[in-house]
Structure 1
Amino acid sequence: MTNIDNIDRQILRIVQEDAKISNLELAERVNLSPTPCARRVKHLEDAGIIAQHITLLDPEKLGLNLTAMISVTMDRHTADRFEKFERDATALPEVMECYVVTGQDSDFLIKVLVRDMRHYEEFLLRRLTKLEGVSGVHTSFVLRQPINKHVLPI
């Protein structure tokens, strides 16, 4: 891990909350002049600490009203089988997150956003269960999301 100081931590907290902040405003908020502030941000980007700058969208305002957490079980536990599933799942636009998990009867846990139950059914029966190696799925639907953090505790 790259050594970061308190000013770097302040910068990281601020840009996590507002990726559109100007360098001038950021520099003012962390009590630096603009050039050293820009250098610090560039260093944090080059070190991979700042991975990307993104805009978060509200899924419900775009008609994606149903979130499903799907446990996926594979037929074989081989690196090739898992890698193929990961590539194939990445190509499905509804899949927002994918985790390889342990301590359950499943191998993957994926988070899926869909419009409604009909969309979910189409996704499940026509695409997810057709992926090579998928031998079983178990779905839980999200009722609500009381915590939704995107700012890392640094």
Structure 2
Amino acid sequence: MSKNQKIDEKDRQIIRTLQRNGRMTNQDLAAAVNLSPTPCLRRIRLLEQSGVIKGYGVEIDSDMYGLPVTVFVRVSLDRHTEANVKQFEQAMSKIDAVLECYMMTGVSDYLLKVIVADLSDYETFVRKHLHPIGGIASIDSSFVYGVVKKSGVFPMIG
């Protein structure tokens, strides 16, 4: 499977099943998607080689880990020069507390998903990691106080 080839419905079934339980055996996965094990494993390998499946991970309870505070941070840059954008994006890639960083349309340039231990830890994040970057026009923070839905499973197509 190359980057230009589209995945089919059976591939999507495999992906959605793995998104629900990435630890299942190939035997169980094959049964769940109604394939025999060898063709199922072949499809998985092709999905991995083509980059559709980028890796496997573990979902962690951030409270139990000791980082119970999730903050969505909207950042606007004061200038949109190539150097300013590159500086900001490189800084984001190096900060462990930033789990996700998205370039956005609309009022803000970036949306960050940040996890910290508490409000004091967030203040330290802003003062020691964001402010020194420079070129930031505004920082707008929204603290998560409840999760209504969180899913890593893609929706069906069609």
Fold in common (TM above 0.5): yes
Alignment check: 8 A CA contact 1:71 1:139 kept: yes
1:119 counterpart residue number: 121
1:21-55 Cα shifts (integer Å, max 9, x gaps) = 11111112222221111101111112221121111
Distance of 2:105 and 2:34 partners within structure 1? 45
User: Displacement, 1:133?
Assistant: 1.8
Distance of 2:18 and 2:48 partners within structure 1? 12
1:5 paired with 2:8, answer: yes
Distance of 1:4 and 1:70 partners within structure 2? 34
Q: 1:3 to 1:74 in 2, by over 3 A?
A: closer
1:109-145 Cα shifts (integer Å, max 9, x gaps) = 1111000011011111122111132232111111211
One of 125, 133, 136 as aligned partner of 1:134: 136
Superposed counterparts of 1:14-53, under 5 Å? 14-53=17-56
1:67 paired with 2:47, answer: no
User: Displacement, 1:14?
Assistant: 0.6
**Structure 2: gaps spanning 5 or more residues:** none
Question: How many percent of aligned residue pairs carry the same amino acid?
Answer: 39
Q: 1:30 to 1:102 in 2, by over 3 A?
A: closer
Distance of 1:80 and 1:67 partners within structure 2? 29
If the length of structure 2 is used for normalisation, what is the TM-score? 0.89
SS in 2 for 1:26: helix
Amino acid at match of 1:12: I
1:56 paired with 2:59, answer: yes
In the comparison of the two structures, how many residue pairs are matched?
153
User: Displacement, 1:3?
Assistant: 2.8
If the length of structure 1 is used for normalisation, what is the TM-score? 0.92
Shift >4 Å, 4+ stretches? none
Superposed counterparts of 1:78-97, under 5 Å? 78-97=81-100
One of 141, 146, 149 as aligned partner of 2:148: 146
**Structure 1: gaps spanning 5 or more residues:** none
